[in-house]
Amino acid sequence: MSDDGVAWYLQQAGRIPLLTPSEEISLGNEVQAYMAIRDLPNPTAAQKKIIKRGLKAKNRIFNANLRLVVHISKKYAEANLSTMTMLDLIQEGNIGLSRAIEKFDPSRGYKFSTYAYWWVRQAVTRSISMSDRSIRLPINAITIQKKVARFAEAFKEENGRHPTMDECAKYCEIRPCTMRAYLEHTPRISSLDQLTNPASKLYEETTILDLISGNESSPEEELEIQHGLEQLDELMADIPERDRWALELRFGIDELGPLTYVAIGKILNISRERVRQIEARWLRKMRLKMHPLHRKQPPN
């Protein structure tokens, strides 16, 4: 999906209002009630009403969290340019979001977005893992590969040798012939000089090494960054959701930013001038919060 396509998708999602905490709880309870009876062969009239309300509630939660799926998918799209498109990742993430809605229990007290994040990320990463292989392996085979890799490392450290095929199979509780088949399709180590996407004109000369950051922040810098983010979060806490999103897009706090006034206006379905006014208004208010002594004093 191109940048214009992502902007269009966000524009559609942005028209749907976000859920308040109380709405999350009430809608989540309706979905749970629906899940408890959805497989009944002959529901009563009252149960049909519960099912109808539950489906409507699930759809409302789903639409209100489409931006979360785009946010997560974009992170992985940048690192997997040669395997899946942004649209592919969004579709897989939507499957994870749907599953999260069905599993969400409002009585536990956490926000839905926090819970859904892990389901969406799992769906996206699994789809990438499958698409990276010429031969598609089932999820349990990929799990076994990861499990045996950890076992082999620990075994060698303890015994000074690599484990045999039979020892690996016994540890994973599968047959040796199955273990052999799984290990034959274990991903090989790639060179850091390998091109990330030779077919792309934009990345035709970019290697894996070029994408690895060579500078690590010191603990002091990390603390300073964390403190700044916490302070920024406090300053933006009282800003309405739409205005806050406009600022995040404008200054690159959101993964899609930084964007121009025109691009933000298209996403939020408002004018370019309105975006500029939102930016000026809240920057002025945040500056006054940070430097209250700069307020104009009334004349004596």
Rg over CA atoms, the chain: 25
Q: Are 250 and 264 in contact (CB under 8 A)?
A: yes
Please write the tens of the pLDDT for every residue from 51-91: 999 999 999 999 999 888 888 887 777 555 456 777 788 88
Q: How confident is the model at residue 250 (pLDDT cuts 50, 70, 90)?
A: confident
Is the confidence at residue 208, as pLDDT, over 70?
no
- Cα distance between residue 223 and residue 216, in whole Å: 13
pLDDT for res 242: 82
CA dihedral 174, 178, 180, 186 (to 10 degrees): -90
Kindly state the helix (H) or strand (E) to which residue 261 belongs, with its residue range.
Answer: helix 261-268
- 269-278: long-range contacts, CB 8 A cutoff, minimum separation 24: 269/11, 269/14, 269/15, 275/246, 275/250, 278/243, 278/246, 278/247
Q: Are 186 and 211 in contact (CB under 8 A)?
A: no
- Cα distance between residue 265 and residue 7, in whole Å: 10
The tokens for 227 are: 């403190």
Please write the tens of the pLDDT for every residue from 139-170: 566 677 778 888 888 888 888 888 888 888 88
Q: What is the mean pLDDT of residues 167-176?
A: 86
The tokens for 220 are: 């002091």
The tokens for 207 are: 């290697």
Domains of the chain: 3-131 (1.20.120.1810), 133-186 (1.10.10), 222-293 (1.10.10.10)
